[in-house]
Amino acid sequence: MPKPSANCPNCGAPVSFQFSGAVQTTCPYCHSILVRHDVDLEKVGQVANLPPDVSPIQRLTEGIWNQRSFVVVGRILYQYEQGAWNEWHCVTNLGESWWLSDAMARYAVSKLVPLPPKLPPPGELKPGLRLDLNGTRYEITSLTRARYIGVEGELPFEYWDKTECLFADLQTADSRFGTIDCTEDPPLLFLGESVPFDSLQLKNLRQFEGW
């Protein structure tokens, strides 16, 4: 089937979608942030020049997790006191939406929990707090206040005007991973697992001199 496509309302360039459920994308030519309304696109902002990135992952990188193939179609970039990290939006061969967190050569794959259990309000989150989520005991290992830097490519929701963001990282004894994302009210819950880089069997990676 043909991929959904439209023209950028800012520069007129053709914009196609890898992910049929994409709500937002960026024009690869003029870097406008575009929100999709059925077949029409609305410009809602402009992507600033993103800082240099040393991640080997890029848009259209492909991989495998839990025996399902996926392709990277977009990302959100955050900055915090220890540096920066990418949240890569991935789409599976079944059309599912996943997130690949890429922070200082540490990787985790997670999925949005559509109907999460009741979560504590942001003011009650703290390291060491234990939570029973979907039948599993998680512990908050860290709280991170980050600054939204920018977006690239296709996302499953509108995300373009954030400022400071609060995240609570969750961990289990068997390396399962989660995040409470306080950029929305109520907060969002993502659950998955920490993964070794090689286990993702990634291809179409960025090439750096010396590799």
The reply to whether 115 falls in a domain is no
Q: pLDDT tens, 17-56?
A: 888 888 899 998 999 999 988 767 888 888 877 877 889 9
Number of alpha carbons in the 13 Å side-chain half-sphere of residue 122: 14
The reply to whether 150 falls in a domain is no
Domain tally for the chain? 1
**What's the CA gap between 87 and 104, in Å, rounded?**
12
Q: Quote the pTM value.
A: 0.89
The reply to whether 54 falls in a domain is no
Give the pLDDT band of residue 211 (cuts 50, 70, 90).
low
The reply to whether 70 falls in a domain is no
For position 3, what pLDDT does the model report?
A: 67
In terms of C-beta density within 10 A (0-12 exposed, 13-18 middle, 19 or more buried), how is residue 34 classed? Answer: buried
E strand or H helix at 77, and its extent?
strand 68-80
Residue 18 and residue 1 in contact, taking contact as beta carbons nearer than 8 Å: no
The reply to whether 42 falls in a domain is yes
Using DSSP's 3-state secondary structure scheme, residue 200 falls into helix
The reply to whether 16 falls in a domain is yes
For residue 89, the one-letter residue type is H
Q: pLDDT tens, 115-131?
A: 888 999 999 999 999 99
Give the pLDDT band of residue 1 (cuts 50, 70, 90).
very low
**What's the CA gap between 206 and 54, in Å, rounded?**
9
Exposure string over 71-102, b if 16+ CB within 10 A, otherwise e: bbbbbbbbeeeeebbbbbbbbbeeeebbbbbb
What's the token pair of residue 128?
């060491």
For position 210, what pLDDT does the model report?
A: 57
**What's the CA gap between 149 and 77, in Å, rounded?**
5
For position 158, what pLDDT does the model report?
A: 86
Q: At residue 178, does pLDDT exceed 90?
A: yes
**What's the CA gap between 89 and 58, in Å, rounded?**
10
The reply to whether 176 falls in a domain is no
Q: pLDDT tens, 51-97?
A: 778 899 999 999 999 999 999 999 999 999 888 999 999 999 999 99
Share of the chain above pLDDT 70, in %: 96
The reply to whether 27 falls in a domain is yes
Vertex 68: Cα angle to 60 and 54 (nearest 5) = 35
Q: Looking at residues 139-144, what average pLDDT do you find?
A: 96
Q: Name the residue range of residue 41's domain.
A: 5-46
